[in-house]
Structure 1
Amino acid sequence: MRETIAAHRPAHVLVEGPADFTGRIGELLLAHTPPLAIFSYVRDAARTRLSWAPFCDYSPEWIALTEGRAAGAQVRFIDLPGWRAADTENVYADAERRYADATERLCRALSVDNVDVLWDHLVEAHPYEGLAERLNAYFDLVRGEADAGAEDTAREEYMARWVAAAAARDDGPVVVVVGGFHRPALVARLANADGDTIPEWPTVPDVPEGTETGSYLVPYSNRRLDAFTGYASGMPSPGYYQRLWESGPREAAAGLVADVVTRLRARRQPVSTADLISAKALAEGLATLRGHPHPARTDVLDGLVSALVSDALEQPLPWSARGPLQPGAHPVVVEMVAALTGDRTGRLHPDTPAPPLVGAVAAELTALDLDGSRDVRLDLTDSTDLRRSRVLHRLRVLRVPGVERKSGGDTTAAERWQLTTSDQREPALIEAAARGGTLPDAAAGTLADRADRRNEVGSLAGLLYDAALCGLADLAGDLTTRVADGVASARELGPLGAALRVALGLWRHDRLLGTAGSALLGTVVTTATTRALWLAEGIRGGDVPAEPARLRALAAVRDAVRDGGAALGLDVESAIGVGGRLVANQDAPPDLRGAGLGLCWALGAAVTPSDAVPRAPAVLGDWLAGLFAVAREEVLDDGGLTSVLDELVRALSAHEFLVALPALRQAFEFFPPAERERFATALVARHGGEGSGRGLLRVRADPVLVAGGAAIEEAIDEMLTRAGLADL
């Protein structure tokens, strides 16, 4: 690109980019540090849509802008405005998905894994010899077999009008910078253009009535660019290509190896000099085998894996099948991907225009003493701290980096937050401005947008709680109505229970948030409680594992009936009746039978829990999970149940205990550590010991492993006894 502009000294440089930003190209040419992006949005009554057009140091568009302006050319963007392509993470990444068939055939023909390796093989490994011819052949092939679609057809027609207008002026050469996918179509359109008239410059499309649009520059990062991290940008390994751009192929390969080794050694992964020599030799050999004059990206990566990974890999290497790393990836591969990505983050020049939200948030954080890095403790009964809390919750909802709540919520009036400075805060706030011009409006817009994308009642209730924490009363009212509609028709007990917990908490406790005693919330609680009891009684399933979500739902029913029954008209006897029927129904899952007993017990019914404990090891833990989830406090105060459980568990064989252990462990997870210690202390005393049972909770060996060993020993003893060898 640089050589083309220097050789032709064009009068016009036309770049694929949002035409509505042409008048602001001067902002792009400030002394920024790429990567950066043009962020565009459009907001109407229905939704907000977003798009990003990123630039790296080595982006052809970036070089065209900077070199074209330096050469004195008229530089223009010629694509449809960014808001027309909104909802696309990167407006230059979509074409590849449409010509996959052609590239897949090329990959098979050239024996490479994917389009990224294909590009390295065709272009990066041979950067100079016949490059233009290879690129033309490549894009003619893939475009010739791909359907452009209506959106691309409109874009190409618009770009062709700009090119035709520039060429018709005959005041000097015209350099056009577009994605290779569009080149054949533009060439064909221009060949059929009328050469007898000088067309007018195209106009920028008008913004539709009733919509708001905007565009701003935002700092970008290599992580957002990298396809391996899950973004849709389509740029693999930006850190590596930055090295390639700056230093050339051999230095890029050496730098990648050095970076991987440094990262591995920092994490105490052994890498010897012999390993490095082996990796280099393997990379050189692979390059020769693949016909590359020097090691390309995948040559280096494959060489490193061969030299440093000796055990079997459980998943494909990410550069052989583009996509984010999956959990359980080999640590060497993890560090290789991190080295490929790099940690480069762009910076904008201080004079770059920003939406008012950025400055408003900075001013508010300073005024409330919330700027910088610090640990913040808030007392929500204090009016200033309540205001601080709402500001921080609004930033949390917007997912602004460096704002994390460490504790608080539910019935407590205390919160603790950890604030840290982050270079990602500025782009997050710029992008948040698409949702609203002020912090409350941006938070409300974000929550409303999430609500529009979620139909599940539990998720809607979570958004309702967030709206209350943010002090967004109007939005909270709308969400409450939607939650009320959702609970009346809910079909799943778990999500319904989540909604009930949120609504009950806001109705019962949150005088600070202004929701306590709300009539609409009271209706939600009443409807959800009745619906939950009805759903629970209809569940069948036999001896299926415990489901914590539905157990939490019945715990919420307990709280609603016990704490709000009188005010909300919830009948205790009706709830006890449902609990009793659950206990008696052998077709119900064991966790619900235990939860039914717990519901009766917690609501004051006369029950004898120790007589109801099932003896079968396969269902014991699940039944206890239900009981503990709903009647935890009652269980702690009942010494007789502890004794029964002790006797029952002691009577289990080693094999039976091994079968019961996973569900038993899950059941006792319903008790916090201090309460589990109470159980352990009671068991120590029951067996004649003294002092705390805390030591029983700190066993270093895995209990499942210990139980498995005991079962094996028991089986061996039985075999020896049958063979008459037990006394030897």
Structure 2
Amino acid sequence: MTPTTTVPGPSHAQGPAPARGAAPAVGGGRSGWPLVLGVRHHGPGSARAVRAALEAEKPAAVLVEGPAEADALVALAGDEAMRPPVALLAHAVDDPGRAAFWPMAEFSPEWVAIRWALDRGAAVRFIDLPAAHTLAAADPIRSDGEETGGEDAGSGGLRIDPLAELARAAGHEDPERWWEDAVELRDDADPIAPFEALAEAMGALREVYGHGGHPRDLVREAYMRLQLRAARKEFGDEVAVVCGAWHVPALVRKTTVAADRALLKGLPKVRTELTWVPWTHRRLARRSGYGAGIDAPGWYGHLFAAPDRSVERWMAKVAGLLRAEDHPVSTAHVIEAVRLAESLAALRGRPFPGLDETTDAVRAVLCEGSDVPLDLVRDRLVVGDVLGEVPAGAPAVPLQRDLSRLQRSLRLKPEALERALDLDLRKETDGARSRLLHRLRLLGVDWGAPAAGRAGTGTFREAWRLRWEPELHVQVAEAGVWGTTVESAATAKAASRARAATALADITALAEQCLLAGLADALPVVMRALADRAALDTDVAHLAQALPALARSLRYGDVRATDTTALAEVAAGLAERICVGLPPACAGLDADAAAAMRERIDEVHQALGLLPDAAALADRWAGVLHRLATRDRTPGVLRGRAARLLLDEGRLAEGEAAPLMSRALSPGTPPQDAAAWIDGFVGGASGGGLLLVHDERLLGLVDAWLTSVPAGAFTDVLPLLRRTFSGYEPGVRRTLGELVARGPEAGGPGRSTPGGVPGFATGLDRERADGVLPLLHLILGTEART
């Protein structure tokens, strides 16, 4: 099951909003304990306000909205090796794909509260509904109110966006801009004042829309109230709560223990495991997860880290990035950009330049009005590719620990920013890296994706694109059912896939994966399945589809030191059966089946050249192509393709291609069949256009046939011809047009000769051909032979 990054959390719009003593049930003490601080997740203004409030009141215990089982992991947040953004990951033990994340950035109020408590020696507790209940839901991939409101069809509850409602009440159309002005860019002398004001606003909203607004919120809030009561019994009244502002009115509302327990009765439950995992700013920018969906995590992180002169510091960051990318940016540009951002904020009635103002200033001054460098700024700075780190002692499945060990030993550090990796398989370290990446792909952990390598480097080169995503931790947990190490897990999964495979092509592709991944223990199982399936499959198309993967696999023996003897025997058997069965299998095919068979023929043609006994098979294969090219029952596209392959391999004598084309384009051939022959002969990515450019006899035949097609049939063949010739490079199409427009040249090489094609010569003009030799010698730096 695809893992979910959605967890029960407050509304996307939650923001600092709470209350000390907002109701008599929780009042008391010199400051009105407990201190309930309502926040918006991942808000730097909320985080600063939480830190100031905690520093002012100094509670004995801090309660944080999050899965209750995470209490055992909270101490790791104080480890020096822990660097946000990070996330709590919970997954079902028996079904690791059922998972949920609770992300926290450096500017998340929850993270700030946890670190404050650990630094001051205060107790920390997570008080939200346990993940065991969250993951036991019938469908854990569900909305948690992080987006705009509306009717929730599944529950009948009303889902609203509190931030949008408050912004509308304040007369603002843009909720994000209003929130930035009201909270993120605000600095109050009284650290509690913003929480009290927003708590009152949230209480009014809940009165209008009904307590909770969603049945699942009511359940979660009942559990949080029970945890709050338990904490007050353990630590006294001096307890602070950090939660989504939407929940504040529910936590300070009077209820009975019996009523809260009644709401929790009968909840489903599964066995779960929790750990910390690295997170990224780019993931925070997606609208899913623990109150995530902020559009500018890099900007918010900057506001939190640089509360003073933040605009000046931001412009300096932008200037440094643009300079690194060779954009001419001076100190004067930075000064002018700061002045423009401040002027825009004043004109727009904002207390301080926000992201809109700084972005407009960057575009106008630093980017000189261009959106191209501005897109770079948005990607690298406004969003960013920061990847967090977690301590090595964090709980993890055995497979994850083995993967981490391999990453360290092979110096393959997970990074959020995509990077290229070129491997030379002749080197021991690069070979081990290649095997690791291929094993992970076989396990469904797509950390790396193969990329097009440098041309002409042979089979000992591999190119990869690497990018680590937080969801890969869930994929590793899912793959953990196959084994405790990457090698053993990949071997077990390959063996299981081999036993379950029914298609021959699937087994040959699996054999190729095993060779690339160096899974010697899995190959015997795969080879037995391959031999059994190959012996039973009589469909030539299936055999032709399976052969290319085997042929590619046979190339890996030298570089990867893998014994491919068994594969060579199977491949030779498949090649023999294809040569015998292909001609009758091509007879009488319709257009779609012929097009599919054409692809199979091209693949087999390339594959046979890779087999160990390629020379012995060449003559046999050429005979098969000759039969295909000359049999009338073979579809035109296949006859044309066979003729072209023979021509490319030098298996057609000089001048033999033209008679084949003349026969295919004779007046007795239906125009549709003739067009299909042309498509097979000069269509596709086979250089057919250049062939026509350099062989004017063939071009003349095509031109003469086209001019003879009846008007009624031309509209039928036009789509196929258009597809054939539209695949040529623009320069090739232009040259062909010029040749056809020029026509025969009087007295030149294009003159009409007996037995030739009108307008084109029948033989090679060696005098003209020798005329290019001096230029070739000059280019190649060689000496002409006399």
User: Normalising TM by the smaller chain, what interval?
Assistant: 0.5 to 0.7
Whether contact under 8 Å (2:222, 2:260) holds in the other structure is no
After TM superposition, the structure 1 = structure 2 runs for residues 397-412 of structure 1, keeping only pairs within 5 Å, are none
Answering whether residue 361 of structure 2 is matched by residue 303 of structure 1, we say yes
Counterpart of 2:567 in 1: which secondary structure? coil
Answering whether residue 529 of structure 2 is matched by residue 466 of structure 1, we say no
**Which residue is 2:183 aligned to?**
123
The structural deviation recorded for 1:217 is 2.6
1 CA distance for matches of 2:680 and 2:210? 61
**Which residue is 2:47 aligned to?**
none
What are the Cα deviations for residues 162-183 of structure 1, in whole angstroms up to 9, with x where unaligned? 2343346682233222223444
Classify 1:291/1:363 alpha carbon distance in 2 versus 1 (closer, same or farther; 3 Å).
closer
**Which residue is 1:432 aligned to?**
476
In the alignment, which of 609, 616, 622 is matched to residue 657 of structure 2?
Answer: 609
**Which residue is 1:251 aligned to?**
309
Structure 2 residue runs of 5 or longer lacking an equivalent are: 1-49, 151-159, 415-419, 666-670, 705-721, 734-764, 781-786
What are the Cα deviations for residues 131-153 of structure 1, in whole angstroms up to 9, with x where unaligned? 33246536864994899767656
In the alignment, which of 238, 243, 268 is matched to residue 173 of structure 1?
Answer: 238
**Which residue is 1:64 aligned to?**
113
Classify 1:25/1:621 alpha carbon distance in 2 versus 1 (closer, same or farther; 3 Å).
farther
Whether contact under 8 Å (2:367, 2:373) holds in the other structure is no
Whether contact under 8 Å (1:162, 1:202) holds in the other structure is no
Classify 1:527/1:434 alpha carbon distance in 2 versus 1 (closer, same or farther; 3 Å).
farther
**Which residue is 2:591 aligned to?**
539
Classify 1:369/1:38 alpha carbon distance in 2 versus 1 (closer, same or farther; 3 Å).
closer
After TM superposition, the structure 1 = structure 2 runs for residues 194-233 of structure 1, keeping only pairs within 5 Å, are 194=257, 207-208=270-271, 214-227=273-286, 233=292
2 CA distance for matches of 1:31 and 1:622? 66
Letter in 1 for 2:226: R
Answering whether residue 227 of structure 2 is matched by residue 162 of structure 1, we say yes
2 CA distance for matches of 1:113 and 1:620? 63
Answering whether residue 349 of structure 2 is matched by residue 291 of structure 1, we say yes
Classify 1:603/1:164 alpha carbon distance in 2 versus 1 (closer, same or farther; 3 Å).
farther
Whether contact under 8 Å (1:624, 1:667) holds in the other structure is no
Letter in 1 for 2:641: A
**Which residue is 1:318 aligned to?**
none
After TM superposition, the structure 1 = structure 2 runs for residues 587-666 of structure 1, keeping only pairs within 5 Å, are 594-595=640-641, 597-598=643-644, 608-611=656-659, 626=683, 629=686, 642=695, 644=697, 663-665=727-729
Counterpart of 1:163 in 2: which secondary structure? helix
Answering whether residue 184 of structure 2 is matched by residue 137 of structure 1, we say no
1 CA distance for matches of 2:270 and 2:378? 45
Whether contact under 8 Å (1:243, 1:251) holds in the other structure is no
The structural deviation recorded for 1:261 is 1.9
Counterpart of 1:14 in 2: which secondary structure? strand
Classify 1:619/1:85 alpha carbon distance in 2 versus 1 (closer, same or farther; 3 Å).
farther
Q: CA RMSD in A?
A: 6.8
Counterpart of 1:48 in 2: which secondary structure? coil
Classify 1:396/1:417 alpha carbon distance in 2 versus 1 (closer, same or farther; 3 Å).
farther
**Which residue is 2:756 aligned to?**
none
Letter in 1 for 2:485: T
After TM superposition, the structure 1 = structure 2 runs for residues 293-332 of structure 1, keeping only pairs within 5 Å, are 293-308=351-366, 330-332=372-374
The structural deviation recorded for 1:279 is 3.2
Classify 1:275/1:37 alpha carbon distance in 2 versus 1 (closer, same or farther; 3 Å).
closer
Answering whether residue 771 of structure 2 is matched by residue 688 of structure 1, we say yes
Answering whether residue 65 of structure 2 is matched by residue 16 of structure 1, we say yes
The structural deviation recorded for 1:689 is 0.7
Letter in 1 for 2:275: Y
The structural deviation recorded for 1:379 is 5.0
2 CA distance for matches of 1:559 and 1:447? 27
What are the Cα deviations for residues 549-599 of structure 1, in whole angstroms up to 9, with x where unaligned? 9865431244578979999xx99999877776899767xxx7x77435446
1 CA distance for matches of 2:769 and 2:348? 73
In the alignment, which of 233, 239, 242 is matched to residue 301 of structure 2?
Answer: 242
**Which residue is 1:191 aligned to?**
254
Counterpart of 1:15 in 2: which secondary structure? strand
Classify 1:245/1:150 alpha carbon distance in 2 versus 1 (closer, same or farther; 3 Å).
same
Whether contact under 8 Å (1:42, 1:214) holds in the other structure is yes
TM-score (norm 1): 0.63
Letter in 1 for 2:145: A
2 CA distance for matches of 1:276 and 1:97? 36
Counterpart of 2:65 in 1: which secondary structure? strand
In the alignment, which of 409, 425, 435 is matched to residue 390 of structure 1?
Answer: 435
1 CA distance for matches of 2:300 and 2:624? 68
What are the Cα deviations for residues 662-683 of structure 1, in whole angstroms up to 9, with x where unaligned? 63339999xxxxxxxxxxxx99
In the alignment, which of 64, 69, 75 is matched to residue 124 of structure 2?
Answer: 75
Classify 1:509/1:282 alpha carbon distance in 2 versus 1 (closer, same or farther; 3 Å).
closer
Counterpart of 1:97 in 2: which secondary structure? coil
Counterpart of 1:435 in 2: which secondary structure? helix
2 CA distance for matches of 1:392 and 1:218? 20
The structural deviation recorded for 1:407 is 6.2
TM-score (norm 2): 0.59
Whether contact under 8 Å (1:583, 1:597) holds in the other structure is no
2 CA distance for matches of 1:688 and 1:521? 47
Letter in 2 for 1:126: R
2 CA distance for matches of 1:105 and 1:525? 73
What are the Cα deviations for residues 94-149 of structure 1, in whole angstroms up to 9, with x where unaligned? 53135376466777787878654453244213353963324653686499489976
Whether contact under 8 Å (1:532, 1:554) holds in the other structure is no
Paired residue total: 634
Classify 1:139/1:283 alpha carbon distance in 2 versus 1 (closer, same or farther; 3 Å).
farther
Classify 1:535/1:138 alpha carbon distance in 2 versus 1 (closer, same or farther; 3 Å).
farther
The structural deviation recorded for 1:516 is 0.9
Letter in 1 for 2:476: A
1 CA distance for matches of 2:225 and 2:167? 31
Structure 1 residue runs of 5 or longer lacking an equivalent are: 314-329, 652-657, 670-681, 698-728
What are the Cα deviations for residues 197-253 of structure 1, in whole angstroms up to 9, with x where unaligned? 999x99999644xxxx543333434344344999994233233222211221x5222
Whether contact under 8 Å (1:287, 1:294) holds in the other structure is yes
Counterpart of 2:53 in 1: which secondary structure? helix
**Which residue is 1:96 aligned to?**
146
Counterpart of 1:295 in 2: which secondary structure? coil
1 CA distance for matches of 2:290 and 2:503? 26
Percent of counterpart pairs with the same letter? 25
What are the Cα deviations for residues 327-378 of structure 1, in whole angstroms up to 9, with x where unaligned? xxx2222224312234544344565566555664576688899999998644
Classify 1:531/1:597 alpha carbon distance in 2 versus 1 (closer, same or farther; 3 Å).
closer
2 CA distance for matches of 1:256 and 1:449? 54
The higher radius of gyration belongs to 2
Classify 1:660/1:96 alpha carbon distance in 2 versus 1 (closer, same or farther; 3 Å).
same
